[in-house]
Structure 1
Amino acid sequence: MEPIAQAKRRVRKNYNPEPLIERLKELLTERKESMRGASLASGLDYGYIQRIIQGHRPAMEAVILLADHFEINPNALLTLAGYPPLKVFDIRTASTENLPPEAVDVALAIARIPNPGERKQIADAVMTLLKKYFG
């Protein structure tokens, strides 16, 4: 088995930053947002975002934070950053076919909240209530 340090170096060598850089620039342009604004809103250091745009491979956590800020599926950015998609973000698991209509209505209402911070607070509050009353 290959040592983890060697595996990380191998992956780093094969990383092509261009697709991620292009997508991040598109997202910034679409939102009319600066790198500094995106860094503040995502909780990342401005210099860190600059290094990503310069071609450095970001950490997986940073990619997820950026995706959350830009309100896109993290798997879209993870694959551009050379990471495998994560099952937890797989949209196919969110099929509404097996859900009661009330659950779909709640999920859609939460999804319409434009502010990601407020949306997360509401979702957390709903989960807290569900755990309190239904275990």
Structure 2
Amino acid sequence: MNLEELMAFFGRNPMLSMALAGITAALIYTEFARLFRGYKSLRPAELTGLINRENALVVDLRPIADFDKGHIPGAKNVQMSQFDPENKQLAPAKSLPVVLVCKTGMTAGGAAQRLKKAGFEKVYVLDGGIGGWQQADLPLAKGRG
């Protein structure tokens, strides 16, 4: 297919052309936003390595009932409604890696941005949240842990 045929296709299919342009713009925006958000996403296997190598603090932002049903071993539960970077469990960890966990990985992004603004050096979000952890067949602890 040459450029002339491609231009003819776009001319005959304006809706497809606009959809392609929109999807391309959305992908570019998403990738640039990811570069400048200040925190990184971790896969479950990367989290286990970070816990073992660098004594990462895992903060579970889910409601206490969900936390009690199953959480990453060693995680601390901090309710999103009470989330504060100066929290007594969080403040001492400013130089440690801090990994935020929620149900799907979406809520933790906002909390991660707050930690970065408060001066935390190494902030991560668990990709896929606790659901991603479970899909990787990694163990959960029960109770208040």
TM-based fold match above 0.5 = no
Larger Rg: 2
Q: TM-score, normalised by structure 1?
A: 0.27
The normalised TM-score by structure 2 is 0.25
Higher helix residue share: 1
| Greater strand share, structure number | 2
